[in-house]
A and B are shown apart, each in its own frame.
Chain A
Amino acid sequence: MLRIKNLHASIDNKEILKGLDLEVKAGEVHAIMGPNGSGKSTLGNVLAGRDAYEVTAGEVWLDGKDLLELSPEDRAREGVFLAFQYPVEIPGVSNINFLKTALNEIRAYKGLPPLEAREFLNRVKEKQKLVEFDAKLANRSLNEGFSGGEKKRNEIFQLAMLEPKLGILDETDSGLDIDALRIVARGVNQLRSSNNAFIVITHYQRLLEYIVPDFVHVLYKGRIVRSGTKELALELEEKGYDWIKDTVDAEGAV
């Protein structure tokens, strides 16, 4: 589904990603871990198309489409969904109007007619239940007055509504208490299927107890330096990132 080859990206002329390779197949969940500043969030933002980042080399393919050629909205319409680390509050834009606009623009891109009002509202209700997001959305502005946990849950709810191919969760666990974390994880697990895939970006192994990944990758200095299964996350938790740093830096020195 997703193929990243030798991706280099920089911000303000500072290179953050330095030759990243990753392949994600439909039905898989990949966890990306790594110390602060290793480029985890950069990866999410580059995939979603944030224009502050400049891609200097490499390729990204999503089901045969050259993702780097597309605008952020077209990437979303092709099925990329970035759950933001810091979801934005937009006063005056209602949650419902926002979702309806997003959903219908994605549908229009695929040549589908807009959803009927009733159909849309049924879907809202159904998906809210699915991801256990019970915040009242009607007559409320997008994320306005939401707690940190509610904002993160709203991201997962949007993901459920828009049904992307590839969900990228950018430190969705940060700032969540254990109960909210469980709810978010359950929501994601409900949404997992053989047709979609997830990239879960996180600092901690904790989230991976709830969203069990098929693969774990360790990002360090802009490259994936270790890949493995979920046991790698446990090993990291136990030994700390210094273990990675030391071994990788030692390899580099050789």
Chain B
Amino acid sequence: MITQVSDSLYSQLIKTYGGNLPSAEPRSLDEIRKQAFERFKSTGFPTVKNEDWKYTNIQPLVSQHYELDAEPPLGAFDLDKANLPQLEAYRVVLIDGKYHAGLSDDVSGVPGLTILPIDQAFERLCFAKYFAEFADKTDNPFVALNTALFTSGLFIEAGKNSQVQKPIHIIHVSAARQPVFNQVRNLYVVGAFAEAEIVESFVTDDGAERSLNNLVTEIVVREGAKMQHYYLQTAASQSNYLNHTEIHQEKHSLYNNYNCTFPGPAFVRNNINVRLGDMEVESHLYGVTLTAGNQFVDNHTIVDHLRPHCESYEWYKNITQDTSTAVFNGKIFVRTDAQKTNAFQQNNNMLIGEKSAVYTKPQLEIFADDVKCSHGCTIGQFDNEALFYLQARGISEAQARILLVHAFAFDVTSRFANTAVREYVEHLVEEGL
């Protein structure tokens, strides 16, 4: 039997960085990087034999050559693609993960808010306290790789008791003119009783080459804090994303994630893990995925109830067109200590393309005995009766389809707290059909 070694990115990484990891003060980070690199080295990239990657074959992506740590191109970037009409926000622009001061708003005068390129945050107390404390506890090899090798990303802190006035709009631009492997690392800390709203857009600059973007974001929502978090994935087909988000919540905190993916990027894998680490925590995960062409979008979520009296609510909708594929995997853990948990999960799928596919796997593991957990999952297609009914009232077939897809997504889009984002997403749904 021949073991096929097709990971050219793996050998490239080992050759380039073995014993030569990025280094900076403080030295404690060096040790974390070294250990993470060893972890990655031993596991390598996951294959479809790994249950968490069963439907998600990354071999074609990692068997290609990329430039590592390439400098982003100079010049103007068209940010219109990420423009949300009616969203008043502090804008932060990352070009291939690197903070672009010229395109970003200066927030130094905003009370309680700190936004820094992550390499300028290494000395901060809360960086030392939280960095690699959460995401690296998972067995995702891409997190280990990111921890070992990231050089860019963002640090955001909303200070204790602060109410950040406007949402923070982070625009991730994929721009490199050569094939590139980007590793971006973010750390967001919402201080005790603070409130913050973060909207993240993913776009591809015209003329960008293919890219593989490995993003890891760690989020700490401290006691009594509230965070609204939107992902708006609207990049183009040459951009590919591995996006791991690890959220740790302290008591009485609220975290809402709205994860939206639209036709465009050829490959998207999101891991969104919420750890409800103390009592009276509330978490909401919403997702709308509309795929087209030959797109592949995989959303893996974990809702981890560690302590009693917490509530989680998860609702994901997939709409697949053409020959695209969507994957949903929703794990809910209710640990022994997590009595009086109230957990809800729902996943609905509408297959529009006759050759499109959906793989869905709700997965509940409950170790406590006094809990309320419910989950449901449906797979369906366009209701032709409904379509004809609308047409028989003079509504064009195209418009009728839009109405029906809106109706399908409504359970999720109606939960968006921010109406500007909601309208934008509804518009993208229309455009994507």
- Which A residues form the contact surface with B (CB < 8 A)? 48-51, 71-73, 75-77, 81-82, 84, 87-88, 90-93, 97-98, 101-103, 105-106, 109, 141, 158, 162
Contact = CB atoms under 8 A, between A and B. Distances in A.
A98 B393 contact: yes
Contact of A98 (B383, B397, B403): B403
B389 A102 contact: no
Interface of B, helix, strand, loop or mixed by DSSP: helix
Given A48-B392, A93-B403, A71 B385 contact: no
B389 A88 contact: yes
A109 B386 contact: no
5 contacts: A48-B392, A98-B393, A102-B390, A105-B399, A106-B394
Contact of A102 (B388, B393, B404, B407): B393
B148 to A, nearest CB: 46
A46 B406 CA distance: 29
B397 A71 contact: yes
Contacts of A109: 394
Given A90-B386, A92-B410, A93-B407, A105 B391 contact: no
Nearest 9 pairs of A and B residues by beta carbon: A92-B407, A76-B394, A92-B410, A72-B391, A102-B393, A106-B394, A88-B389, A73-B391, A93-B407
Interface string B401-428: 0011011111100000000000000000
A92 B394 contact: no
Contacts of B411: 92
A90 B404 contact: yes
A87 B393 contact: no
Residue of A50, A84, A92 with most partner-chain B CB within 10 A: A92
B248 to A, nearest CB: 35
Contacts of B383: 88, 90
Interface in B304-357: none
A51 B392 CA distance: 12
Residue of B383, B390, B403, B411 with most partner-chain A CB within 10 A: B390
A72 B386 contact: no
Interface of B: 383, 385-386, 388-397, 399-400, 403-404, 406-411
Nearest to A161: B393
Contact of A76 (B385, B386, B392): B392
A76 B383 CA distance: 20
A146 B45 CA distance: 54
B394 A162 contact: yes
Contacts of B388: 50-51, 72
Contacts of A91: 407
A88 B391 contact: no
Given A88-B385, A90-B386, A92-B411, A72 B392 contact: yes
B204 to A, nearest CB: 32
A93 B404 contact: yes
Given A93-B407, A101-B399, A162 B393 contact: yes
A98 B394 CA distance: 10
Contacts of B397: 71, 73
Nearest to A77: B394
A63 B411 CA distance: 44
Nearest to A82: B392
Residue of A50, A75, A101, A106 with most partner-chain B CB within 10 A: A101
Given A90-B389, A98-B390, A105 B395 contact: yes
Given A81-B392, A102-B395, 9 more contacts: A51-B388, A73-B396, A77-B394, A84-B392, A90-B386, A92-B408, A93-B406, A102-B394, A105-B395
Contacts of B394: 73, 76-77, 102-103, 105-106, 109, 162
A109 B407 CA distance: 25
Contact of B407 (A71, A72, A90, A101): A90
Contacts of A71: 391, 397
A82 B403 CA distance: 20
